[in-house]
Structure 1
């Protein structure tokens, strides 16, 4: 309150003092001298000119003749520690990959009898905008890794065929009476095979068995029961998942490298047989990754394992 009263008193006293002076002197008192302020000079043009000079001074690196992959720093790093995205992924030979996985197991102290997996990406394209249908296949590996045989159910109503099936290791043998038992989940098997005459009586099982339903393409329908049992008792089944991927086990890590390579070669050959080997379509297997249950994945070079077409030389 004291400061406000003092300000009011100063204003009133000033007015009283001005009233006692003449008009000319009052005008001279009211004139306030003009005050100039310094304005900062804009340096936008100067900055642009300096930036242009800096750009001109920077050396232009011509790496057109440099041998390196597109968008990467180099083909291979020079040190053990590097940023992965700056270098292309390294591809390992199949034999070297198997030996590396065995070495990783010894360093990590993991079990010897752990499964060994293969992950394939397939190019399902065909000519004229067609595609390879996702398939399910059973292959007879030269060196099986399963300790127990698969349970195979044989559909037949012929007594002689039923006797042959039982003698060759069929788990269950029967006719139309087995349909209702399968629907009620009283019996089940790993594979189902049938003679052609039984397909009509097995129609109610299509929704139940789905991909396990016997088909000619899979080799589970035929008259040669012995051959079908030999395939499916020790056969290894794999399928195409997500329209283009095959993920399946091929061996166990305690098997010899030779056995692992033979199983892998057999599987890749069977996969490649589902598309015609034409050079115009490119490779059917785009990439392959091998890994064990506890190790990292290694990208493989599959050129040596894929089937090669032999060119016949014409004799003149």
Structure 2
């Protein structure tokens, strides 16, 4: 975990509250992460998910989003601990644990609550998308290879190339389909619907008609989906895991990172892989990118 501390040192953990334990104040951590918290199960109603609004009404100005981030970073909490089991939980900071401790607690509460030992483990991230001077990081999508994969399904990948020998290489390395511009109309007509699309550089100018159709899955150099090493690209995208920022909330990312029956070291390594990938999308010199991180399992509450 040493390599991960620059981006994430501690995590929140969503879990069932079996005892009233010490609640430390939020403190800044590392360049990529402002702080991370722990939502406990309290005797209070859970907050309702935000309602979807019309496209025109949902748009927020950059200043409003910046204010939200600043609220998270400097929210004033009550001093000390709550005296009762029933209290307004938004007045008290959530607990903060090191990654290893957070994973240990998730495993512990699974045993205490008799829930599925193979349930998913999820990471929720709130990001500061501001770049300064009224610019911001655009909602992004990335594909990464987990050091410890937990899904056996193979993604279906298309390879764009005009070269006959490259088409053969693609097919030999497990491409669902490989070809040139003859694939464009089939994709536009939904005859071809795959998980990912990769391409060699030479054919990119001819793929422009697919930009609106494929959106974030249109081949991009930054996503490692454009290149000459076709076997390497296929290896990544066939077994890779996609993470993406929510397009409606624009600063929120949630993804499954493991199953609870995996070892603590394996879960921690997968968490590190996600944090490292996320932190590529904003310069560390701008300060904390991850404003809040939450580690939870499928049955977590709070």
When normalised by structure 1's length, the TM-score is 0.67
2:253 maps to 246
1:287 maps to 292
**Whole-Å separation in 2 of the counterparts to 1:131 and 1:151:** 32
**Whole-Å separation in 1 of the counterparts to 2:201 and 2:239:** 23
Q: Helix, strand or coil: the match of 2:186?
A: helix
2:175 maps to 170
**Structure 2 stretches lacking a partner, 5+ long:** 1-24, 27-74
When normalised by structure 2's length, the TM-score is 0.70
2:268 maps to 261
Does residue 215 of structure 2 align to residue 214 of structure 1? no
8 Å Cα contact 1:110-1:294 kept in structure 2: yes
Task: Note closer, same or farther for the CA distance 1:89–1:196 as it changes in structure 2 (3 Å cut).
Answer: same
8 Å Cα contact 1:105-1:295 kept in structure 2: no
Task: Give the deviation of 1:75 after TM superposition.
Answer: 2.9
Match for 2:152 among 128, 147, 150? 147
1:17 maps to none
- The count of aligned residue pairs is 229
2:186 maps to 181
8 Å Cα contact 1:104-1:295 kept in structure 2: no
Match for 1:272 among 265, 276, 279? 279
Task: Note closer, same or farther for the CA distance 1:126–1:206 as it changes in structure 2 (3 Å cut).
Answer: closer
**Structure 1 stretches lacking a partner, 5+ long:** 1-67, 298-316
8 Å Cα contact 1:123-1:283 kept in structure 2: yes
Task: Give the deviation of 1:168 after TM superposition.
Answer: 1.5
Does residue 125 of structure 2 align to residue 136 of structure 1? no
2:15 maps to none
When the two chains are superposed, the root-mean-square deviation of aligned CA atoms in Å is 2.3
From the CA coordinates, give the structure whose radius of gyration is larger.
Answer: 1
